Chain A
Amino acid sequence: MLDNQSNHTPIAVGDGAAIPHKSDAGLFTAWRIAFFGSIVLCLFLAFGRPDQYMAIFKFVPDGILITFKVTLGAIVLAIVFGLIAGLGRISSNRFINGTASLYVEVIRGIPLLVQLFYIYYALGRFIKIPDMLSAIIAMAFCYGAYMAEIFRAGIQSIPKGQMEAALSLGMSRRQAMHQVILPQAFKVVLPPIGNEFIALLKDSSLVSILAVSDLLRRGREYASETFNYFETYTVIALIYLIMTLFFSKLISIMEERLNEGR
């Protein structure tokens, strides 16, 4: 009871990248080898084999920027969708609950790639919006369903007594949710949201099929002109690896900070 962390049932999240914790020595070492190894390998390729690789390294950075834009845009929007749907999933209103649950069930039952095509072309058919924006919306719509489950689990992990204490002080349900439950749930959901972010960063490569010039698509463009498939995809893979490893480290640091705080 004194240790407020123990009140929260941790949320088990299977997908996403492995986040290197100090306590997991094996993974921690693996992270270091992979991260610094791929940076060294990149440097070696760029400067040791400049005639094959330098041009690739010059061609793809535009794509990195697009990949970031898509990932960031989609995660922010997915959090919004997820919070709304997550609150809907715990609503006592039958209609709201039903709608939110249907959204989650349907989305989770269709492969991400199929949804991307579907939403992208459906959006394109009815409204004229830029390719990248509809790709972001499509990604966010899918990830929102997973996010909803995270928010729902996060809110439900807060002990029942918290809501009761707030209500017994005269707060309305909405005030209690806003002032007492959500701020606590937020702390619980941050790590799994970090996980989703990394998963989304990787899955954002799927938008390369939708005429969005992200990292993977830039690689494909370069490779199909030069026929240097092996070299190009080596570089693409290394860059994705460095990005995901960098962010998983960042998230683990953030998580440690959170656990230290009070």
Chain B
Amino acid sequence: MKDASRPMIEVCGVSKFYGSFQALADISFTVSDGEKVVIIGPSGSGKSTILRSINCLETIDRGSISVGGMDVSSPKTDICKVREEVGMVFQSFNLFPHKTVLENLTLAQTVVRKRSKKDAEEIAMELLRKVNIVEKAAAYPAKLSGGQQQRVAIARSLAMNPKAILFDEPTSALDPEMIGEVLDVMKTLAQEGMTMVVVTHEMGFAREVSDRVIFMDHGRIVEEGTPEHFFTAPTHERAKLFLSQIL
């Protein structure tokens, strides 16, 4: 049963410590179905940590996170089930180097979703067509450019039919000429209504695609608002300073 009024992702008063260092301080925000949220902020502000907490790659010390109605922070929840529903795209692609591009897309489908090999391959080929890299289906990841690898990584995550996808600086490891091709794929996803949480330094993308921008600093949410508001009239000094440096 799905509660339509309940947001897709709900982060509630989350704090996280590494030893005595506080990486996240009382973070709360929600992402509703189909919404695109961009998280920006200086290095070390906790952007990756909050994303990774959403699909439980990090544990949190206080607060709660729910995804699609499932309580991530509860020990009773099957974490694998949560992760099946949220995709994750990493800065370093993390394709499986010992598998071909096609196998990268079919592995979790067969192992986790228990689809037949044939069905999984059909879905995979369709997604490869979508990210425009179908000709590399039989190649190993090492033979692909960074932009191609990241597009495959996005397709791999889509193959699980996630309800939302988390992107952690998906274009930061790419040569400038490859950033566009990856952003284009992400824009297409956004237009199709995918729920997305994107950590990025691509301000053009944030402006054009996002419904909401969250600005973080020192583990806190400093400012949150529509891209128009954030890019034209930010309230906080930290946000102003950050924007003046990055734009």
Task: Choose one: A4, A165, A170; the contact of B90 (CB below 8 Å).
Answer: A165
Residues of chain B within 8 A (CB-CB) of A7 are 97
- Are the CB atoms of B98 and A168 closer together than 8 Å? no
Pick the 9 closest A-B CB pairs, nearest first: A170-B84, A165-B94, A169-B108, A4-B97, A168-B88, A161-B94, A170-B112, A262-B140, A170-B83
The CA of A123 and the CA of B198, in the complex, are separated in Å by 61
The distance in angstroms between the C-alpha atoms of A165 and B83, with both chains bound, is: 10
> Do A180 and B96 contact each other (CB < 8 Å), given the known contacts A2-B146, A170-B160, A262-B140?
yes
| Residue in B83, B96, B145, B146 whose beta carbon sits within 8 Å of that of A168 in the complex | B83
A164 within 8 A of B: yes
A165 to B93, CA, bound (A): 9
Query: What residues on B are CB-neighbors of A1 within 8 Å?
Result: 92-93, 146, 149, 173
Let me know if A171 is at the binding interface, CB within 8 A.
yes
Interface residues as binary, A24-47 with B (CB distance below 8 Å gives 1, 0 otherwise): 000000000000000000000000
Q: How far is the CB of B242 from chain A (nearest CB, A)?
A: 27
Residues A164 and B94 in contact in the complex (CB < 8 Å), given A175-B112, A262-B142: yes
Contact with A along B72-98 (1 / 0, CB 8 A): 000000001101101110101111111
Q: Which of B111, B113, B160 contacts A179 (CB 8 A)?
A: B111
Report the interface size for chain B: residues with CB under 8 A from the other chain: 35
- Is A167 close to B, CB under 8 A? yes
B residues with CB within 8 A of A: 55, 57, 80-81, 83-84, 86-88, 90, 92-98, 107-108, 111-113, 140-146, 149, 153, 156-157, 160, 173
Bound CA–CA A166/B96 (angstroms): 9
CB distance from A113 to the nearest CB of B (A): 40
A184–chain B nearest beta-carbon distance, Å: 5
CB neighbours (8 Å) of B149 from chain A are 1-2
- 22 A-B pairs whose Cβ atoms sit less than 8 Å apart in the complex: A1-B149, A2-B145, A2-B146, A3-B142, A159-B92, A161-B94, A165-B90, A165-B94, A166-B108, A167-B83, A169-B87, A169-B112, A170-B80, A170-B84, A170-B112, A170-B113, A170-B160, A172-B80, A184-B98, A187-B98, A262-B97, A262-B142
Instruction: Name the distance in Å between B197's Cβ and chain A's nearest Cβ.
Output: 13
Residues in A whose Cβ lies below 8 Å from that of B112: 169-171, 175
**Of the residues B98, B108, B143, B145, contact of A170 by C-beta under 8 Å:** B108
Shortest beta-carbon distance, A166 to chain B, in Å? 8
Separation of A180 and B98 alpha carbons in the complex (Å): 8
Cross-chain contact A171 with B108 (CB below 8 angstroms): yes
CA A262 – CA B144 in complex, angstroms?
A: 12
**In the complex, which residues of chain A have a beta carbon less than 8 angstroms from the beta carbon of B146?**
1-2
CA distance A88 to B156 in the complex (A): 31
Complex Cα distance A97/B97, Å?
29
Given A1-B92, A175-B112, A180-B96, answer yes or no on A169-B142 (Cβ-Cβ < 8 Å). Answer: no
Q: Which residues of A contact B94 (CB under 8 A)?
A: 159, 161-162, 164-165
Q: Which of A159, A168, A183, A184 contacts B87 (CB 8 A)?
A: A168
For A3, the chain B residues whose CB sits under 8 A away are 142
Contacts of B140 in A (CB 8 A): 262
Q: Is the CB of A165 within 8 A of B96?
A: yes
How far apart sit A187 and B98, CA to CA, in the bound complex (Å)? 10
11 A-B pairs besides A168-B86, A170-B80, A171-B112 with CB distance below 8 A are A2-B142, A3-B142, A4-B141, A161-B92, A169-B160, A170-B113, A175-B112, A180-B107, A184-B97, A184-B98, A262-B143
Closest residue of chain A to B153 (Cβ to Cβ) is A165
Among A3, A169, A184, which residue has the most Cβ atoms of chain B within 10 A? A169
In-complex Cβ contact of B98 among A165, A166, A175, A183 (8 A)? A183
Judging by beta carbons under 8 Å apart, are A169 and B93 in contact?
no
| Cβ contacts A145-172/B at 8 Å (1 or 0 each) | 0000000000000010110111111111
Q: Which B residue's beta carbon lies closest to that of A8?
A: B97
Instruction: Pick the residue among A159, A169, A183, A184 that contacts B83 (CB under 8 A).
Output: A169
